[in-house]
Structure 1
Amino acid sequence: MKSELGKRKKNNPDQILAWLMSGLFGVLSGIFLVIGYQLEKIDRIDLTDKNAMMVMVAIMAVLTVDTMHVWKNYNQSFEGKKLFGLMKLNKADYQSATDEKIFGTKEFLTTWGIIVLLNLPVLLAVFPGFFVYDAQDELNEVLTRSFTTHHPLLHVLLLGGMIALIHKVTGSWNAGIFSYIFLQMLVITAVFAYVLVYMSKRGIGKRSRILWTLYYGLFPTIVMYTLCSSKDGLFTAFLLLLIVLLTQLVNDKEGFLKSKGKCAAFVIAAILMPCFRHNGFYAYLVFLPFALIYFRKELKKKLVFLLVIPVIAYLVISKVLALSMGAQGKDNQEMLTVPIMQLSRVYTYDREDLSAEDIKILTAYLPEDNLKMYTPRVSDLVKVGFNNEYYEKDKGGFWKLWAKELARHPMAYVNAWLLTSYGYWYPPALINVYKGTTVFTFTYDESSYFGYEVESPGTRTSFIPVIDKLYRFLSIGSFHKDAPVLALLFSPGMLFLIYLFVILYRLSRKDFKGIIPFMPLVLVWLTVLLGPTYLVRYVVILWTAFPVLMNTGRTGNFGPV
């Protein structure tokens, strides 16, 4: 009797934590669904809508209880039962598996080859590949030898250098574009193969291996960025590799540190990840103290070096590249996207509240022609005119005006920010931020889910038109309207809610081994909330890391979520 009572007391704090985490999931989900709906339909939050607020409270209550019920079922699966046919490994199995090589093995090469073969029909269908998202600008930097720090220089040099070289040899721009994208595809699919073989060695079943192989090779969102020239594909691949290596590190620190190959791979992934997207550096920098705190009881010089050296190396590489290329530019507007949009919204909807002096100050930083081009969901047309030179001379004037209008128009500020980011957390959000914008080969109308086109000097030459039409339909067509339920699989907001569900569940169980590896991903997601708009390209990692999330079980071994 006493034993049973003691057990109940011991479990009580765990139950309280579980309810707190399920409650947090219910509250956040209710806010995201109702507020997201309002932003989608009326371009603002309406807290005076009593019906909407009642619905939000109801969603919070239902999801809190339902989430707790589902988590209890998960807990039962950890009492020795299997879930989804997956298995758990004991510590000895894990450590022996950690020592096994992956790259170069027959299983790795076979898996890699299969994913490449699955991608090739799409590459031929959209030949020479998706040359889009600043691709022309990056190529021109190389051709004109006029470099800026706006785009990551490593990506500029790789993309522009290879295309220019192949064009010089063959006289074909398409050949150059195809060569670059094919090489990029090999790198990205190699990372996918590594992930799959690693998962296989951790205990996922044959059917799961087949499922996830097909997922990496066929799921359109992943394939789009595997075959796209944008920096997002390589950035995502190295971030994914970092996540898997962190999973190995937290589960077997001693074995990991003894492996020179794994240590080298970790450092390389942690350096290259931010080299392809600047926000990756800020995410890793914030992640670093969390990692050091997590390992605080068993910190060794080698581990500290392993975690810190990527920061130093990235800063050195960035500086050397900028100096050697003579790169120019100070793009403050990239960091100031949110305050720029907030002031622009006040100017657009509450201009009568601005004094002549306020307008004079504002237009010194943002020309009136750009302010008049304000659109709620994308900042490009406004921020492009930002006066960086004047801002460098008088930063205080900008922030003084910003603070003044914050006090006077707080809801305008909230709406301005959320309208450029709600697509990341509201599942049914329509990703059509470029509607009406004319690019090289078409005008965005139904959707701007993916860029799809081939920018000049490349030209689309499809060898498999039926697949080309499918990707056009998914990218800029009416797919989201024709199949709204299926479209949720393509929604960053839907993926985010799944990640939130899993991570809060692991928090409820104090399973930090299952959380630490995903912290860089979470921090990258947080950085994009401060970005210019909501686009899939910035959060492709949600799809590529999904198999790892769903197959990482208790204590980090592969098994139930």
Structure 2
Amino acid sequence: MDLKERQLPLVEAVSRPKGTYLWIAFFFPSLSRRQNRIAAVISLAVLFGTNLNIGPLDAVGSANRFIAAIAVPPSESLVLFLELAFILLIARCLIGALSKKQSLDLPCLFLSVFFAFAMVFGKACESFGDPWAVFDGFLGTAVTVISAVSFACLGYMGFAFLFSLADKTASNVGSREAIDTGRTRNRILFLFESHPVLAPSCVLGVAWLPLLIAFFPGLFAPGDTLNQISQLFGLPEATSASIVLIDQNVTLNAHHPVVHTLLMGGSVLLGQNVFGSCSIGYFLYIVGQYLATIATIGYGINFLKQCHVPRRIRIGLLLFVALFPWFPEYALLGTKDTLFACSLLLLSISLFRIGSKTYEMTKKNWAILVISLLGFCLLKKGYVVFALIIMVLAFLKTSSMSRRAVICTFMGPIAISILLSNVLFPALSITSGSSREMISIPAQQVARCVNTFGDEITLAQRDAIDKVFDYETMQDKYNPLLSDPVKNTFNKFATPDDIKTFFSVWRQLLAEHTGTCLAATMMNYYGYFYPTEANPYNYNLETSRESIENVSSIAPFYDFQHTDSIFTAIASKSFALYQALWDNAPLLSLFTQGSTYIWALLLLVGYHARKKHRSGVLLALLPTLLVLCITLIGPCNFIVRYTFPIAFVVPFFAALLWRRDDRSTTVNTRR
């Protein structure tokens, strides 16, 4: 395979030796003295620019402000030397590639520009509460521009290096390890290979079992869990109070997915009527969700085996899933996001099979696609539109022989979702959700304008705003990181004309105070692309108990309670400390950042966009990209619950980078 066909973006070894020598040539290409000097200059410039202190500087005079901009604590000097060595390693690869007249890698270029934007404005939002604070006079603006260019260069070199490393890894998988051939000597590994779904599922089931027992009957998400259950019981709760119900006696509504509410609330009702205990009923739901989660992960591990991903990568992924606290936390939490994450992974795997010419779809695979589509459409409001988009692209991607199967498979779940939402639910007086969710971004932008330019708001504009949202709340309780305080004041009796007038005022403010409106949006979402220090909000036994205690108005109707045993106390304290360890320990804390998984997703898309024969991965990642788009219009700057489905899918497709690239053979995945 020649260089043009491989499309290596930047790094290409001088020679093609075998084994260790190939990797030495990859990391340390032979360069001339002049090229080494250029690499050193680039590395120093990037190091200097990325460590500038951007934003308002506490200094008087241009000279003092310049010194303040470049100041670095002496304790960080050694770390900067190590950073310089790493940047120099990548820069040498870049210079070696450019000397061979390779063109710029467009996906890397686009990603690097966005990376610079995220780093500069993310730091401004995190440190100063205003993304425009970094443009503080001429010197401050110059420092910001230099920093942005440096981050763009660093991003381009780093992303191109990772892409080249992935190319090298994929091209040498077969030479490093035989792919699942022969009988392994180790009995445990033999079980892992011979039972690729059951074995990983059992490992996770055993690893998380102490938490399942200790957290009986399961974890409650503050607000959402008991709100959903209360809807089915017809009890007062926040979501039904925020909308105009079709029938005041039917509190069940579509603010939360109705199917999930029926599933979780129905389990509680079953436990109450059959076992005389709401806790047992809720535990039945949690056990079902627990089993669904570990079975889905087991299916994902088996998918990697069928794609000839080396055993050590699959075992490494399994250990990560078993040890990373997000997975058991959400497996035991009563929230729609867990089952939706399972549906998203199953859908992504099915789309990969459809989009790839190497793996054929069996009857079992088509059945799993139907199940995943039902979960995708019914566990999130409005996702049926995304299902239609995915269907069209899958139809265009697949062969003519399979197009009928694609249409038939997709249309069933889509039709069911449409009929439920538009026919059955209204007939049963189940009210649709509030329209306030669709105007979260305009509401937050108006609130920031009200707080910043309150004296300039006319009486007519104030009246128009007050008919849809509480104007006083916008002034007193505006939170730049969270739109809920403003959004929750939405007037459910606002008429279409009132909302139309509100949008007219919003457009006026957007035109007059464009920077302020953009700042409101960046402050609300920068944490999805920048490693923020904001509390990710972990769910554990302590938060679950608080959730139960905070519903005192409906507490007499339920008997939910966690056990008070020594084992429960030890497990609760240990798990909370374990979560804190992952949130704060060096390196580990990167995995508890939503931005880590979002950037991994973007890098996977950029990498596979360069490789036409891997377009099946692009189709597979499309649902996750659509989930990301919806996440970016949510109410919170960063919360784990919104990024968990993305974090659930991305590791499996990252592991595909190690798969054997054998496009000449069609693999029958029938078992």
Deviation at 1:232, TM superposition (A): 0.5
What one-letter code is carried by the residue in structure 1 that aligns with 2:647? Answer: W
Picking from 121, 139, 164, the partner of 1:72 is 164
Deviations 1:436-477 (A, max 9, x none): xxxxxxxxxxx62447424325333263433312433466x6
Deviations 1:274-316 (A, max 9, x none): 2112254343344333333334866632222223433222111
Deviation at 1:82, TM superposition (A): 4.9
Give the conservation status (yes or no) of the 8 Å contact 2:391–2:407. no
Give the direction of change, closer, same or farther, for the CA distance of 1:178–1:411 in structure 2 (3 Å limit): same
Note the 1:326-337 alignment, pairs <5 A.
326-337=429-440
Deviation at 1:198, TM superposition (A): 2.1
What one-letter code is carried by the residue in structure 2 that aligns with 1:540? Answer: F
- Give aligned pairs, total: 520
Deviation at 1:330, TM superposition (A): 4.5
Give the direction of change, closer, same or farther, for the CA distance of 1:352–1:282 in structure 2 (3 Å limit): farther
Q: 1:315: which partner in 2?
A: 418
Normalised to the residue count of structure 2, the TM-score between the two structures is: 0.71
Alignment of 1:63 with 2:155, yes or no, is yes
Alignment of 1:260 with 2:341, yes or no, is no
Alpha-carbon separation, structure 1, partners of 2:358 and 2:411: 16
Give the direction of change, closer, same or farther, for the CA distance of 1:326–1:406 in structure 2 (3 Å limit): same
Picking from 107, 117, 136, the partner of 1:31 is 117
Give the direction of change, closer, same or farther, for the CA distance of 1:109–1:204 in structure 2 (3 Å limit): same
Q: 1:230: which partner in 2?
A: 335
Alpha-carbon separation, structure 2, partners of 1:329 and 1:302: 32
Give the conservation status (yes or no) of the 8 Å contact 2:310–2:659. no
Deviation at 1:418, TM superposition (A): 2.0
Alpha-carbon separation, structure 2, partners of 1:364 and 1:183: 44
SS at match of 2:467: helix
Q: 2:267: which partner in 1?
A: 162
Alpha-carbon separation, structure 1, partners of 2:161 and 2:465: 53
Deviation at 1:162, TM superposition (A): 0.6
Alignment of 1:505 with 2:607, yes or no, is yes
SS at match of 1:493: helix
Q: 1:42: which partner in 2?
A: 128
Note the 1:446-465 alignment, pairs <5 A.
448-450=537-539, 452-454=543-545, 455-456=547-548, 457=558, 458-461=560-563, 463-465=567-569
Structure showing greater radius of gyration is 2
Give the direction of change, closer, same or farther, for the CA distance of 1:166–1:214 in structure 2 (3 Å limit): same
Deviations 1:19-62 (A, max 9, x none): 21111221111211221111112122125143233212101112
Q: 1:442: which partner in 2?
A: none
Deviation at 1:490, TM superposition (A): 1.1
Give the conservation status (yes or no) of the 8 Å contact 1:235–1:274. no
Alignment of 1:525 with 2:628, yes or no, is yes
Alpha-carbon separation, structure 2, partners of 1:64 and 1:293: 32
| Structure 1 unaligned regions, length at least 5 | 90-104, 433-446
Alpha-carbon separation, structure 2, partners of 1:163 and 1:9: 58
Note the 1:305-454 alignment, pairs <5 A.
305-323=408-426, 325-371=428-474, 372-426=476-530, 428-432=531-535, 448-450=537-539, 452-454=543-545
What one-letter code is carried by the residue in structure 2 that aligns with 1:414? Answer: L
Picking from 224, 230, 246, the partner of 1:140 is 230
Alpha-carbon separation, structure 2, partners of 1:421 and 1:83: 44
SS at match of 1:328: coil
SS at match of 1:389: coil
Give the conservation status (yes or no) of the 8 Å contact 1:129–1:228. yes
Alpha-carbon separation, structure 1, partners of 2:539 and 2:257: 21
What one-letter code is carried by the residue in structure 2 that aligns with 1:335? Answer: M
Q: 2:95: which partner in 1?
A: none
Alpha-carbon separation, structure 1, partners of 2:175 and 2:417: 41
Alignment of 1:537 with 2:641, yes or no, is yes
| Structure 2 unaligned regions, length at least 5 | 11-100, 182-193, 235-249, 549-557, 664-671
Q: 1:102: which partner in 2?
A: none
Q: 2:213: which partner in 1?
A: 124
Deviation at 1:160, TM superposition (A): 0.7
Picking from 88, 109, 129, the partner of 2:198 is 109
SS at match of 1:323: helix
Alpha-carbon separation, structure 2, partners of 1:400 and 1:209: 54
Alpha-carbon separation, structure 1, partners of 2:537 and 2:469: 27
Give the conservation status (yes or no) of the 8 Å contact 1:115–1:189. yes
Q: 1:95: which partner in 2?
A: none
Give the conservation status (yes or no) of the 8 Å contact 2:608–2:615. yes
Note the 1:134-213 alignment, pairs <5 A.
134-144=224-234, 146-213=251-318
Picking from 492, 510, 528, the partner of 2:594 is 492
Give the direction of change, closer, same or farther, for the CA distance of 1:554–1:506 in structure 2 (3 Å limit): farther
What one-letter code is carried by the residue in structure 2 that aligns with 1:380? Answer: D
Give the conservation status (yes or no) of the 8 Å contact 1:251–1:556. no
Give the direction of change, closer, same or farther, for the CA distance of 1:208–1:66 in structure 2 (3 Å limit): closer
Q: 2:41: which partner in 1?
A: none
Deviation at 1:520, TM superposition (A): 0.4
Alpha-carbon separation, structure 1, partners of 2:450 and 2:175: 55
Give the direction of change, closer, same or farther, for the CA distance of 1:410–1:449 in structure 2 (3 Å limit): farther
Alpha-carbon separation, structure 2, partners of 1:151 and 1:346: 31
Picking from 325, 331, 355, the partner of 1:220 is 325
Q: 1:440: which partner in 2?
A: none
Deviations 1:113-149 (A, max 9, x none): 2221222111223222211141111111111152112
Q: Which moved more, 1:492-501 or 1:77-86?
A: 77-86
Deviations 1:216-263 (A, max 9, x none): 33320111111110110001101111111111222248931xx32221
Give the conservation status (yes or no) of the 8 Å contact 1:149–1:329. yes
Give the conservation status (yes or no) of the 8 Å contact 2:219–2:544. yes
SS at match of 2:494: helix
Give the direction of change, closer, same or farther, for the CA distance of 1:375–1:474 in structure 2 (3 Å limit): farther
SS at match of 1:421: helix
SS at match of 2:216: coil
Deviation at 1:336, TM superposition (A): 1.0
Alpha-carbon separation, structure 2, partners of 1:486 and 1:9: 37
Alignment of 1:291 with 2:394, yes or no, is yes
What one-letter code is carried by the residue in structure 1 that aligns with 2:145? Answer: M
What percentage of residue pairs aligned between the two structures are identical? 21
Give the conservation status (yes or no) of the 8 Å contact 2:180–2:311. no
Alpha-carbon separation, structure 2, partners of 1:487 and 1:154: 35
Q: 2:345: which partner in 1?
A: 240
Give the conservation status (yes or no) of the 8 Å contact 2:9–2:160. no
Deviation at 1:381, TM superposition (A): 1.7
